[in-house]
Structure 1
């Protein structure tokens, strides 16, 4: 439950670690590790939380998470109610940037890669048009030798730095992820409770009780660590879930989705949806169906 260093299992001599998950659900605890992480989602859906940011994730998406960046891939409830091996399938690449000598990154040939690595500290999502090409490379790493694997990752960084435009930032305004161990446990408990109970009325007293502090202290604490109010965060979780339901269901009406994701009225849902996504639910449906 702590946001502590997580060490991917691999021989010490391996600079690039390839870990393929083929599980009933993703590792759904808020955690971090010193390695940069590249993740290709092959199967499974849910909510990705990176620091104070959250969004839906789905198959055929690639994410880059910075070193020591707290994160969690929270599987959809269906992964748990109907657990089957392979519900969650992903390839994770771990690479410790501290093992790259500074003199090497200072080489003229490494200039673009060095600039790119400075950008990943807060997390990035690869634009969809590059997924097929990058996925092919990530899938091939398992069969490469140590040196070939390292060279392939460096070439991948070169591709990221030169060819990819329009990265999606996994950040909402703050870059300090230096949670202490006690803060990590507290934030993890708050995130987990919110993800599990977003469809229910969550009062300030209740969520403050989960964090084991007073409501007044909780408001200051949450705003300090996330740069947003808890109510804003809760609404983002609810809207993320509403977007998934809109995409995955052709029968549920807007009002039904609004009430099932924790909103007390369709009017309030429409207002929050527009504020969060920049469009109305009906516009969102039309845009999705046009793709």
Structure 2
């Protein structure tokens, strides 16, 4: 496995490519591509990794992924669950800002050009923009040729003029220049962590996955992510805990703590508050209050 240099389907034929996914799972490999990517999550949840940043994603989230930014949406269902009617649903809009450069030189499109040029990293748009963007995305996926390009222009005209609230997914370090060997190693680390976060992962075990000594692994991971492996592991665990806390099941906080790999509730509460800045109980209260508005 490696950071795959993903080729957008029929990218040589169109300036704007729209891909709709209705599948059991999201594309589960760390990958990158030259095109910028606008993604709307219509259905599904999981963990998003962009560079060295991680967070949960959910229905109605909107992301713009920077060009050549290693990323992965990790989430989905088993084949049996898919057969029973469960699926993820997302629409991705890919576009190469260099290919559109001449088109964007027209005076009428200067605001769009400025906005696209400002996208130096990946961002998440505020959910307040979802009511407008969702129908536009759905319309865009069913169009082709000039109609698609015009709808894309209209959508980005809205983003350029109206979007004032967004969240940066950049943590101050760029992983865009991964070598292939580094990409293979980092993807192995990410994949193993996401698939086994609920278990005890020793430094010796994850170092072996990376084919390194524990000491070399610690230095390597910190150099490439500016965080310790334990910090990354805890982020993955807390992301999953957040989903479970809001899932509406009868599971207690202590049960969720153990289910996500923590060996005691005190440690879980401490790490949860450090990452989210609120306690698990307050996190649930905030969600319930927000849904009443």
Q: With the length of structure 1 as denominator, give the TM-score of the two structures.
A: 0.93
CA offset digits 1:192-229 (Å, max 9, x no partner): 10001111111111111101111111111111111111
Q: Residues of 2 paired with 1:11 and 1:258: CA distance?
A: 44
The aligned residue for residue 55 of structure 2 is 55
Q: Unpaired runs of 5+ in structure 1? A: none
Tell me if the contact between 1:46 and 1:73 (Cα under 8 Å) persists in the aligned partners. Answer: yes
CA offset digits 1:156-206 (Å, max 9, x no partner): 222112101210111222234211111111111100100011111111111
The aligned residue for residue 212 of structure 2 is 213
Could you tell me how far 1:253 is from its partner in structure 2?
A: 1.2
- Relative to structure 1, the CA distance from residue 80 to residue 223 in structure 2 (aligned partners, 3 Å threshold; closer, same or farther) is farther
Aligned residues: 289
Tell me if the contact between 1:48 and 1:71 (Cα under 8 Å) persists in the aligned partners. Answer: yes
The aligned residue for residue 100 of structure 1 is 100
The aligned residue for residue 131 of structure 1 is 130
Tell me if the contact between 1:2 and 1:184 (Cα under 8 Å) persists in the aligned partners. Answer: yes
Q: Residues of 1 paired with 2:86 and 2:254: CA distance?
A: 34
Tell me if the contact between 1:24 and 1:80 (Cα under 8 Å) persists in the aligned partners. Answer: yes
The aligned residue for residue 38 of structure 2 is 38
Q: Residues of 2 paired with 1:285 and 1:70: CA distance?
A: 31
Q: Residues of 2 paired with 1:264 and 1:203: CA distance?
A: 13
CA offset digits 1:69-121 (Å, max 9, x no partner): 11111114x445623376121111111112023x6556654443333223433
Q: With the length of structure 2 as denominator, give the TM-score of the two structures.
A: 0.92
Q: Residues of 1 paired with 2:21 and 2:134: CA distance?
A: 15
The aligned residue for residue 188 of structure 1 is 187
The aligned residue for residue 227 of structure 1 is 226
Q: Residues of 2 paired with 1:232 and 1:219: CA distance?
A: 12
Q: Unpaired runs of 5+ in structure 2? A: none
Query: Does structure 1 residue 243 correspond to structure 2 residue 242?
Result: yes
Q: Residues of 2 paired with 1:256 and 1:194: CA distance?
A: 20
Bigger shift: residues 83-92 or 39-48 = 83-92
Tell me if the contact between 1:17 and 1:95 (Cα under 8 Å) persists in the aligned partners. Answer: yes
The aligned residue for residue 287 of structure 1 is 286
The aligned residue for residue 71 of structure 2 is 71
